[in-house]
Amino acid sequence: MKIDPIYKKLTEAFGISSREEDIKTIVLEEIEKYPNYEIVKDNLGSIFAYKKSKNLNAKTIMIAGHMDEVGLMISDIRPNGAIKVIPIGGLIPEVFISQLLYVHTPSKDIPGIIGSVPPHLSKDQKVSFEDMVLDVGLKNKEEVLKAGIEIGQMVLPKTNFIYSHNQERVIAKAVDNRWGVGMALELVRDCYDKDYEFNLAIGATVQEEIGLRGAGTITYKISPDMFIALDASPLNDLLDPNASGKMDEGFLVRLYDPSNIMRPSLFSYFKEVAKNNEIKHQIYFSKGGTDAAKAQYNKDGVVSTTIGLPARYIHSTVSMFSIHDHMSAHKMIRALLNDITNDKITYLQEN
């Protein structure tokens, strides 16, 4: 069982928040394959394919993944060649200990290690980003700068996109949220020759991991009536069987997170569409938010929610998701577009 190659291309690319250039290139190249879309951008870097309906009173649906991944940024270069880093997005420092990482420079990726101090030398203290240094094997600051390494560059692992032994799960970095970007780009392809009674905007935002910033600017520009985030959500089902969300149980209907709660009418509608189309799904309670949280505040309010992918080990150097759950989300977003109408969007806005 395989999924579209676009996911491999996206997850193996580098792009922390505010450094999404390589991902923007991929997104733009894919959208430009379908010239009947208008390409809409904002000044932060979000990119969307927009298809206007022939209906003069059409509502607008917006569907988005976010381009950025969590990672590290160079904050200082010491005289002895040690490189200091800061986290971009929510990260636990322990995931980088004893990891092979790469500084992304304009000409090449330079390998280095955030080393593990052996017990002979350690003070048995908790790891913090303040205590960590990246060692690229160069003797001093002059050599580091000569290699093309500068403050502000991103530092990330090179994790290959692979399938699990049973071919039913994907192991990759940046599943949060290159998965959502890949799903959006597949949707751009599949909606290319379809006419809807509503306007449709499909694409990818930037800077989600540092405050949902891109969603704020692009929703202001496009002004949707309904916003659907496509995003990966964390699982802890191996260690805690009672935790919200389980692998292989279908896409996540995100009923609650601290910044966005599905209104009852929308919750009922999602369950109805999933049931009528025999799409496996599960109700999910989250401790974090998605772009849907920011989109809901646009102008006089937007009907906003998330179609979620259950994913283990997000916000680390490697994650895992089930192809079965991927396909549930894949079916759900298409079933939703085939079912929704302008009148139904109006009902959801008013109830």
Active site residues: 208
- Residues sharing a CB contact under 8 Å with residue 297, sequence separation 6 or more, in sequence order: 216
Answer for the pair 309, 177: CB distance below 8 angstroms, yes or no.
no
Separation between Cα atoms, residue 73 and residue 155, nearest integer Å: 6
Q: In this structure, what token pair is assigned to residue 166?
A: 């049973």
Q: In terms of Cα–Cα distance, which of 45, 41, 37, 43 is closest to 17? A: 45
Separation between Cα atoms, residue 254 and residue 249, nearest integer Å: 14
Separation between Cα atoms, residue 232 and residue 246, nearest integer Å: 13
> Dihedral of the CA atoms 70, 76, 79, 81 (nearest 10)?
10
Q: H or E stretch including 177?
A: helix 175-190
Separation between Cα atoms, residue 316 and residue 87, nearest integer Å: 11
Q: In terms of Cα–Cα distance, which of 68, 285, 274, 44 is closest to 180? A: 68
Separation between Cα atoms, residue 149 and residue 151, nearest integer Å: 7
